[in-house]
Amino acid sequence: MEEVTVKETDTDGPHQHSHLTHGQVGHGRALRLDKKPILVFWETTKACPLACSHCRAQAISHSMPGELDSDASRRLIEQVASFGTPPPILVLTGGDIMMRPDKFELIKYASDLGIRVAISPAVSEHLSDKSLDEMYRLGVRSASISLDGIDKTHDLVRGIDGHYSHTLEAISRLLAHGFSVQVNSTVMRTTYRDLPAVAEKLLDLGVKIWEVFFLIQVGRGTALLELAPDENEDVARFLYDVSSYGLLVRTVEAPFFRRVAANLKEPNFAGPQILPPGDLYRQLSNDLISRLGKSPGPAKVPSVATRDGKGIIFVAHNGDVYPSGFLPVSLGNIKSAELTDIYRNHPLLHSIREAKFSGRCGVCGYRDLCGGSRSRAFAAFGDPLAEDPACGYLISDLDLAENIMGAS
Ligand code: SF4
């Protein structure tokens, strides 16, 4: 059982991309992550005007049969409120929330119950000034937008020529409307070289939060390539550097970022437990410095150990509940069970929260701070408690000794 204080800048997180936002997380008071998630992601619809190459939701142009109707949606919102005061933040994802005809009624219903609502819309003509005004009036203050690279890199991922410029324009408009904007980017073989340029662009635009999702081969992402573990380590090291330029950097499905950050922050933290910098780190770092100059200040990275099913829960379009949007192991359905009961009592979530893992994650000294991506473990091994194959950490003698002592 753990008790942590979550501040606005603390959470690593979820983001059930394209579409998650942990923006504006936290209530500045102690939260029990075994009792209440910080974020509830709700896939309000599968309908989306885009067809992104890595889409978790495999979104389509129309809603799917079985989508929660307005009545069922209100019951879900009541279940979120029943976690207690303050309730978790409700992140409206998709598909595209803007495709839900009842979106304003549902946001109002949640706001009236004291729930903070964040949106993760697609960039399309549906994201009009009028809609943004109405959402702001109803209490929405946070939005996350996906930007996966510069110019054609982004357009290729999104499958639409010119989408990059529309995305920049949408970010500027959201900021002008007063929203706190988080930008979500996916790290994969077709995008990682643009990371320094994206960081520069976000700082130019005035974005404060960058959430970087490390690809998992599910949904449309299956046809694309994840990076190798040593490359992930280099990207994590680079992101730590980026956070010193005034961007709060979080990762999604890459909790080993916390191990890398903890070691870089305090080099004596349990010994040297990250790989030495590789060629990819040097390329990214040199590019970053050529754009932004030398690092101006200390790194600013999250410290709260959330992971799939721990601080985060995901409700699919049809009411099925999952530890995250990337982990297709159903825990139940909100039409026949209470979300609070599923979150607090499901055995798989207990195992995830208690870090009962196998493989390297099971003997790793960082299994509580990090714990690996449960989604990637499932994608790779069919077991959500297996090790995260994307991690570059070589288990040390110290880890093994601690593990043996702990078992004796
Ligand atoms: S081995 Fe697992 S728990 Fe340890 S740092 Fe890597 S992903 Fe995290």
Average pLDDT over residues 178-195: 95
CA dihedral 343, 346, 351, 352 (to 10 degrees): -30
pLDDT value for 140: 97
**Residue nearest to ligand 1 atom 5, measured at CA:** 256
Distance 13 CA to ligand 1 centre (A): 16
Read off the pTM.
Answer: 0.88
Residue 25 has pLDDT above 70, yes or no: no
**Residue nearest to ligand 1 atom 1, measured at CA:** 361
Distance 314 CA to ligand 1 centre (A): 23
Residues with CB under 6 A from ligand 1: 256, 259, 360-361, 364, 366-367, 370-372, 387-388, 391, 393
Distance 256 CA to ligand 1 centre (A): 6
Residue 211 has pLDDT above 90, yes or no: yes
Average pLDDT over residues 227-254: 95
Average pLDDT value for the chain: 86
Distance 406 CA to ligand 1 centre (A): 17
Question: pLDDT (tens digit, 9 = 90+) per residue, 362-381?
Answer: 999 889 999 999 999 999 99
Residue 405 has pLDDT above 80, yes or no: no
Q: Please state which of the ranges 45-54, 176-185, 363-372 shows the lowest mean pLDDT.
A: 45-54
More confident residue, 133 or 56: 133
Q: Please state which of the ranges 244-248, 291-295, 394-398 shows the lowest mean pLDDT.
A: 394-398
Q: Please state which of the ranges 87-101, 264-278, 378-392 shows the lowest mean pLDDT.
A: 264-278
**Residue nearest to ligand 1 atom 7, measured at CA:** 372
Residue 347 has pLDDT above 90, yes or no: yes
Q: Please state which of the ranges 103-107, 152-156, 275-279, 325-329 shows the lowest mean pLDDT.
A: 275-279
216, 253, 256, 395: residue to mutate for ligand 1 pocket, most atoms within 8 A of CB = 256
Residue 392 CA: nearest ligand 1 atom is 6
pLDDT value for 225: 78
pLDDT band at 21 (very low <50, low <70, confident <90, very high): very low
pLDDT value for 304: 75
Question: pLDDT (tens digit, 9 = 90+) per residue, 244-281?
Answer: 999 999 999 999 999 999 888 886 766 557 788 999 99
Distance 75 CA to ligand 1 centre (A): 38
